[in-house]
Chains A and B, each alone.
Chain A
Amino acid sequence: MTRSVHFPARDVALITIFSALVTVLVALTAPAVTVATAGIVPIPVWASFIWPMGGVFIRALVGRPFTNAFSGVVEGIVGSFILPIGVFGLVVLPAQGLILDAVFGWRRTKPTQLLPAVVAGALAGVFFVFIIVYVFFEVRKPFPLVASLLGGVAGSVSGGLGCLLARHIIRLGIMPDSAIGREAV
């Protein structure tokens, strides 16, 4: 018998649940935050504050290459039903996942290291906000640049928070047999 999956059951379960959770959180909070802040925090900027945090955290839990691309595909499929961007998410979210994968794949940096997590979050945030604002909402200069910068800041903070959250989980010892649990040992 040959094995058809590269991700074991535990990793698939983690990716599934956390991808769904992050997507639900974005869907529930992003429009409300935008309305509550009278548009000062646009939907994509708030979304770029949540996606990288989830991405870094999932990568820390699973610790395999292409974890974020897999997670992005799942988020894209789920998001096409519940997110404001609809089927557009099928393209944007896997691409964002690939960016995170590229950063963590480069020199095999770990998501529990603060700097790579911040850089990955910033790049993912800039990419997500720019594509959404420029292509989806078709807003032209200078707003896409300003929004992308905001997205970069939100993404870097988010990546950092994802990293700190993963470290917190290591300290708590909740998942001794996950990637971050093994790292703790």
Chain B
Amino acid sequence: MSLKVESTPQTDVLAPPPLRLIDDTGHAVAESESGGFTLPPVETLLGLYRQMVMARRFDVQVTALTRQGRLATYPSALGQEGCEIASVASLAPQDWLFPTYRDSIALLTRGVEPKDILAAFRGDWHSGYDYRKFHIAPQATPLATQALHAVGLATASKLKRDDTVALTLLGDGATSEGDAHEAFNFAAVWQAPVVFVVQNNQFAISVPLDKQMACRTIADKAIGYGMPGYYVDGNDVAAMYAVVSAAMDRARNGGGPTLIEGLTYRIEAHTNSDDPTRYRKSADVDLWRSRDPIERLEKYLVAQGALTDELNAEILAAAEELATTTRDCMTEQAVIDPLELFEHVYSTPRASLAEQRAFLAAELADDAAASALISEESTR
């Protein structure tokens, strides 16, 4: 008898088609192909459409501001609105979101003001919104570390017998990190009420997914952890919303974690300092532009008679207003007191930090005195 377990690399096995409820051409798929999920009601889809349009406009505006050199950096989520907006729309008010640096539009959709989202990217502080009000953790920069925080918070909710669920957004590259593995495993072992949404935008900066893993899909990995996994068309916001909402419900009702992979594409560069022409063909980008999540839903809603020209114009006008607000908030630069650098490191005051704070305060006072002297002399 052989104890050998058959386990051949699956690289030559094609991935199945991702689950979708509305196809590329904007038509609802047949019920037999919808994996047991139901198309959300038109009112819900209209709401998702509006949020995607707003998010897109914000993203384009912030990218423009970054190109003008007014922000230190901005990782765009252009093209990923289906995953982002479906995830946020699936949250109940008590739920917590654990986003990454690429998920600024998720923050926007949950109600964070543009000026507070941009605080970190324009360099005011490392993060700048009200975490407890919005139930959003700081945007994580190290990869996959926030997934463990989400599992911990979800487990605490379970221990307290609350109905709070945590949702964390991850990228495809992040699934190679040990912390992603530990998060999936802890969540499954502890049956934590947490949902992992992996946005497979196909590149980790420049490295394609086939250099990250040898299995068919990221969703396939779920079986190894003992949790449900779903491979979804991430550019079909209807499918993403149906699957993520169902996973949130299951988590809330004691059914444990779910791993959801949304297949999508990062249309923009990784950040403004990246040059994607070095690692991908423009034809690929064009192909994915043609699979745009907003256009797809627009076609469907127009065909349903739910999205009139008038309504669309109203939504676009609201998006323009948001762009204006976003531009305007850049002119109101926050004034940060350098002495605040010492305020938040510890809750218990430290003598050594008080000394260093006094040192900086003296330097600032000297600088101010010198500037005053110079301006006095120049006016003489």
Do A and B pair up? The answer is no
Where the two chains meet, the residues of B that have a C-beta atom closer than 8 Å to any C-beta of A are none
Where the two chains meet, the residues of A that have a C-beta atom closer than 8 Å to any C-beta of B are none
